Structure 1
Amino acid sequence: MGIHKQVLIIATDKLTRDTLTRMWPDIHVVLLPGGDEYSGDQKYSHVGYVRLVIRRTEAILDLLKHQVEVLLFEVDCLWLADPIPECQREIKGFDLLATRVSNRPGILGGGFLYMIPNSKVVDLWGMLTQKLVKLEQKILKMDHTEPLSEGENDQTYLSHLISKKYGGIKVTAVSLDKFADGRWYKMDEEKRLTLRPLIINNNWVTGNKAKLRRARKFHHWFWKKDEGECDLKLVNRTVY
């Protein structure tokens, strides 16, 4: 889709950074200082996962403060088409674009956000960062495998700030039909065939192994482990 030069990946271990840099040299990959602490499988809403998200939130705040326009997405997000043009159309007149969460009214997705680096967004993200740093102090001595309340994560904090229109922030929430979440995989086939999403976030399932199984089942896993390369034929059959 011609977007590699715009992509920044923050890796938690040197092997990942070096492998990504070697195989996809146009992508910008940096190593998170102290990232080994967060490497390996991390489960949603568990201590290790939340602490890793806090590091991500801090990095995004630095980008916004340096006037970098940011599209945050996670690596388990399938791009069936380049969503950037649609995001740019939808965000006109707003400061931030967010995705909805199936069956959770009032909650916005924390893993796919388009942000204009203006003062309102910087203030919002700064307050989110403060709340998460305060949370980290509470969980610092907990084991990384311990679960946390659903109310204690970036997604819940951000949704609350947006609902209060913190700092006068203007936010648009895009349609699940175009920006689908993991509930897409649970639809019946007839319903799926009526939709043409730009992206599908592989969420609503816990753990990397479960995500891999589901991606493979729907032919959305493109890595050929034995050959050490992507299955480009499958990629080209899948993307629009």
Structure 2
Amino acid sequence: MKSYVPNAITMGNLLSGCVAVVFAVNDRLELAAIFVALGIFFDFFDGFFARILNASSEVGLQLDSLADMVTSGVVPGVVMYQLLEDASGIPWGAALEEQHFHLGYIGFAITMASAYRLAKFNVDDRQTNSFIGLPTPANTLFILSLPLILMFEEYAFAKALLENPYVLILLTALSCFMLNAELPLFALKFKNWSFGQNEVRYLFLLASVLLLVFFQFLGVPLIIILYILLSLVFKEQS
């Protein structure tokens, strides 16, 4: 019976992702972000309970990736679609639409890159205790933070960048690259509470809290950048 517990939690991730898709398609990106965050919460705890209940299974592994494909694959693609469509209505974006090409479709490159990254993860035995390439939930948090910055923050420079279709296309390309780059990144898995053996994790968590306190939604992309930089500096703790 205990084997069903982590899979049930994974289903919570999938359901959250489905609801987020509906909100994202209807351009309610702030609500989509809430359900994505809920899905990522479930995604973290399904693995946690699978370990403590010793209930890991091949079905659970595949189910986890299928749920992530919705929450951390389809949703960020739709969100980038919406951002690019909004940006294309601005004069500098209108020039890109002269041939009636919808810029928004470029956003689905993130969905395809996420699918490829998830497929690789399932067959890559190097990613047991760390990651190769940016995990899809981290990438999704990065993408979902962009509309929240536009909606709720007063950073004029950030809004100017995120309303520029060329910047959004660049971010899409960077997202696709980072998802599948041969870049080792540490995982937030504590084998013990020793500071010496988990220095990078403690530093990351502390810095993340400070970035969120001082920068609110702008802190989210800064956290993802910090995650990558710390992984490069502390390779031995991955």
Give the structure-2-normalised TM-score: 0.29
- Larger relative strand fraction: 1
- Larger relative helix fraction: 2
